[in-house]
Amino acid sequence: MDSRCCVDNGFQADDTRPSGNHSSLHGQQRCRCRGCDWKRKDLVVSCSCCTKNPAPGGTNDTAPCRRHHCVPNPRARRSNPLCPLIAARIPSPSAELLPYLKEEEDKRPTTSVPAIVPQLLVGGTTTVAQDLSFFLRHSPNILISSPGRLVELLSSPYVHCPQSSFQMLVLDEADRLLDLGFKQDLQKIISHLPKQRRTGLFSASVSEAVGEIIRVGLRNPVKIEVRVKMKDGGVLEDRKTPASLQMAYVVKPASQKLPALAQILEGLPIRPQRTIVFLSTCAAVDYFQHVLPELLPEGFALIPLHGKHQPKVREKNFNRFLTAVSPTVLLTTDLAARGLDIPQVDLVVQIDAPSDPKVFIHRSGRAGRAGRKGLAVVMLHPGPEEDYVRFLEIRKTPIALLEKPEVSTTQEDADQAAEKIRSLLRADRALHDKAQRAFVSWVRSYGGHQATSIFRTSALDWADLGQGWGLLRMPKMPELKSWQGDKFLGVEVDWDNFAYLEKSREKARQEALEAERSGAAKLARDEEASKRKRKMKANEAWSNKHDQEDVRVERREKRRKRREAEKTAAMTDDEKVKQAELDDMIRQVRMQNAVKTAAKDDEFEGFDD
């Protein structure tokens, strides 16, 4: 048996092929080694260069994960093999992907043989009871589900999964299963399924954490790693990205990133119809969705999308981007890096490098799919961040300096952009609040980079960052305690009269301001009264203090007598007699001691010589 393929202790097979010859790996293909049949093996597939989004109108116009998911034979009876498909990106990205998988199954043409009956299981759309009712009434043979909902369905006493009715389990984006905390859900799913089954793990970046899933849920797995080999200048280059995708970087200070984005959009020979701009945090998307339209070239629409949007808002904005007929920019977070079906993306711009290096290839891979040319650009700060280029090269994801379109921003461009943003902030205090929250969240995200030697908060130019974000002042945060720069960035603002456009918020601010003023005045009065009281107490006569001490002694004596009376009242007659005898003895001893002391003091022993 070929040692490159099926081995007793795991997944050591690699299949490295040119980009034009590897698509059949996702179909039914036999391994070239003797005695091995991929049709009967558990698979671990790592592929970042697949044509996941074929061109519309082609024979493979399907959802992005369709080629990864094994579909039962349509000639089989409908009640035969049940094939759950788990898109493992809930709660953030996968809620949007799962309906598209189901739509593709619903589009299958009707035939004389029983058709595939899919069921979508995802939170926020139906209840668990509704899912169970549909499952029992329609007997679906494909489940497209998030991990949590699948656990709830399989845990029902009305659902049984014997070996005779179950065929295959597919875990898409398997590396995200553990990253998003689905370890327990995955273990429960595997415990409900028969051991004799086929299992497939698919991802563009199979991490070491997936090894735990492999040990628990796979039997003698085969690993298939698909890469691209390109001849560049006579050198055979091993890459993880498709040849149609150009990946580049630009080095710009923070204040020039947004002007550089505008120049890239304007400078491309063909205006990009679909552009995705990635930011680090949801708060940054909430902020820049208001200011970026002032900086983008004319004719570009901007649509925000992040994981903290309400499900209906996410779905609405996502559909707006998919159906847009004019040039459109999707401003998003890592929510859209994976798990969403976004075809025909021309340009990807990463304003911030991702905290997780594995996400970089997923972000970039949004462009250049299905043989379509695409451009992915990441923006880096001057200094330590430039080492990120070498870091990606080591990870077999090389990027080159962007030459076309030429990006030549100046400090004047940065000043103009900052002034446009600040004019928007001055018009509404609510936008200023968004800017403060967004900047704090961005700094926290930057400090959480896995490549800590490259992305260091200590190396950031805070003044330039404040200008790039258009801040009116720097927020109060621990990272700025040692910074000696101007916290107000040279911007003059009348903070007492800096108002909200929303009347209710402005009214609340005025009330809080008035309460603060009255509270400060009351505090000043109380402090003055306290000072006077301390001064009077310090100037009291000694005789008054002596009188106060006599009063305190008298009070203590009264309390002692009261305690003795209460103690005596609780005694029995015998106890009272014994206590009286004891008190009499104590009195006699004290009198004897007093007499002895007095006699000793009165004895005269003469004068000393």
Q: Mind listing the pLDDT tens digit for each residue in 468-477? A: 999 999 999 9
Query: pLDDT, tens digit, for every residue of 247-258?
Result: 999 999 999 999
Q: Are residues 116 and 257 in the same domain?
A: no
Instruction: Specify the higher pLDDT residue, 33 or 427.
Output: 427
- pLDDT reading at 597 higher than 70: yes
Q: Are residues 297 and 206 in the same domain?
A: no
pLDDT at residue 262, rounded to an integer: 95
CA distances 102 to 25, 70, 149, 507, Å, are 23, 14, 15, 49
- pLDDT reading at 175 higher than 80: no
| Residue where a domain terminates, one of 425, 459, 483 | 425
Q: Are residues 141 and 19 in the same domain?
A: yes
C-alpha 603/C-alpha 183 separation (Å) is: 95
- pLDDT reading at 27 higher than 50: no
**Burial of residue 187, with CB atoms counted within 10 A of its CB: 0-12 exposed, 13-18 middle, 19 or more buried:** middle
pLDDT band, residue 100 (cuts 50/70/90): low
**What share of the chain in percent tops pLDDT 70?**
72
Cβ neighbors of 137 (< 8 A, separation 6 or more) are: none
- Flag the least confident range among 192-201, 305-314, 315-324, 485-494: 192-201
C-alpha 368/C-alpha 348 separation (Å) is: 10
Mean of pLDDT values over 234-246: 66
pLDDT at residue 415, rounded to an integer: 95
Token pair in block for residue 460: 């950031």
pLDDT band, residue 93 (cuts 50/70/90): very low
pLDDT band, residue 384 (cuts 50/70/90): very high
pLDDT at residue 12, rounded to an integer: 37
Mean pLDDT comparison of 125-129, 139-143, 296-300, 371-375, highest-scoring range: 296-300
Q: Are residues 192 and 253 in the same domain?
A: no
Q: Are residues 113 and 206 in the same domain?
A: yes
- Flag the least confident range among 10-24, 39-53, 467-481, 490-504: 10-24
Q: Are residues 420 and 298 in the same domain?
A: yes
Closest CA relative to residue 374, chosen from 211, 233, 247, 558? 247
- pLDDT reading at 382 higher than 50: yes
pLDDT at residue 21, rounded to an integer: 38
- Flag the least confident range among 28-32, 190-194, 248-252, 413-417: 28-32
pLDDT at residue 471, rounded to an integer: 96
pLDDT band, residue 506 (cuts 50/70/90): very high
pLDDT band, residue 163 (cuts 50/70/90): confident
- Flag the least confident range among 96-110, 111-125, 347-361, 409-423: 96-110
Q: Are residues 253 and 339 in the same domain?
A: yes
pLDDT at residue 216, rounded to an integer: 60
Q: How many residues does the chain have?
A: 609
Q: Are residues 280 and 370 in the same domain?
A: yes
Asked, for residue 581, whether it belongs to a domain, the answer is: no
C-alpha 203/C-alpha 205 separation (Å) is: 5
- Flag the least confident range among 67-81, 88-102, 289-303, 540-554: 67-81
| Residue where a domain terminates, one of 396, 425, 454 | 425
pLDDT band, residue 431 (cuts 50/70/90): very high
Per DSSP, the three-state class of 577 is: helix
pLDDT at residue 363, rounded to an integer: 93
- pLDDT reading at 98 higher than 60: no
Asked, for residue 559, whether it belongs to a domain, the answer is: no
Instruction: Specify the higher pLDDT residue, 23 or 457.
Output: 457
Contact 260, 379 (CB under 8 A): yes
pLDDT at residue 24, rounded to an integer: 35
Instruction: Specify the higher pLDDT residue, 47 or 341.
Output: 341
Instruction: Specify the higher pLDDT residue, 22 or 260.
Output: 260
Asked, for residue 405, whether it belongs to a domain, the answer is: yes
pLDDT at residue 519, rounded to an integer: 79
C-alpha 224/C-alpha 519 separation (Å) is: 69
pLDDT at residue 173, rounded to an integer: 75
C-alpha 247/C-alpha 363 separation (Å) is: 11
Residue type, 11: F
Please report, for the domain that includes residue 282, its CATH number.
Answer: 3.40.50.300
Q: Are residues 222 and 260 in the same domain?
A: no
Asked, for residue 75, whether it belongs to a domain, the answer is: yes
Which residues span the domain enclosing 281?
A: 241-425
Mean of pLDDT values over 306-315: 90
pLDDT at residue 97, rounded to an integer: 53
Contact 156, 131 (CB under 8 A): no
- pLDDT reading at 542 higher than 80: no
C-alpha 48/C-alpha 53 separation (Å) is: 12
Contact 466, 474 (CB under 8 A): yes
Asked, for residue 379, whether it belongs to a domain, the answer is: yes
Asked, for residue 441, whether it belongs to a domain, the answer is: no
pLDDT band, residue 57 (cuts 50/70/90): very low
pLDDT at residue 206, rounded to an integer: 63
- pLDDT reading at 606 higher than 70: no
Instruction: Specify the higher pLDDT residue, 599 or 363.
Output: 363
Q: Are residues 61 and 94 in the same domain?
A: yes
Instruction: Specify the higher pLDDT residue, 182 or 214.
Output: 182
Closest CA relative to residue 238, chosen from 18, 72, 546, 477? 18
pLDDT band, residue 201 (cuts 50/70/90): confident
pLDDT at residue 17, rounded to an integer: 38
pTM score, whole prediction: 0.65
Contact 345, 374 (CB under 8 A): yes
The full 3-state SS of 166-191, as one line of letters, equals: ECEEEEECCHHHHHCCCHHHHHHHHH
Number of separate domains in the chain:
2
Q: Are residues 163 and 264 in the same domain?
A: no
C-alpha 277/C-alpha 468 separation (Å) is: 16
pLDDT at residue 601, rounded to an integer: 62
- pLDDT reading at 551 higher than 50: yes
Token pair in block for residue 153: 């369905």
Q: Are residues 188 and 308 in the same domain?
A: no
Mean of pLDDT values over 207-236: 64
- pLDDT reading at 396 higher than 70: yes
What does the mean pLDDT of the chain come to? 78
pLDDT at residue 504, rounded to an integer: 92
Residues paired with 380 in a beta bridge: 251
| Residue where a domain terminates, one of 425, 452, 484 | 425
Q: How, if at all, do strands 374-380 and 347-350 pair?
A: parallel
Mean of pLDDT values over 355-371: 87
Asked, for residue 605, whether it belongs to a domain, the answer is: no
pLDDT at residue 44, rounded to an integer: 64
Helix axes 257-267, 411-427, angle to 10 degrees: 110
Asked, for residue 99, whether it belongs to a domain, the answer is: yes
pLDDT at residue 235, rounded to an integer: 47
pLDDT band, residue 238 (cuts 50/70/90): low
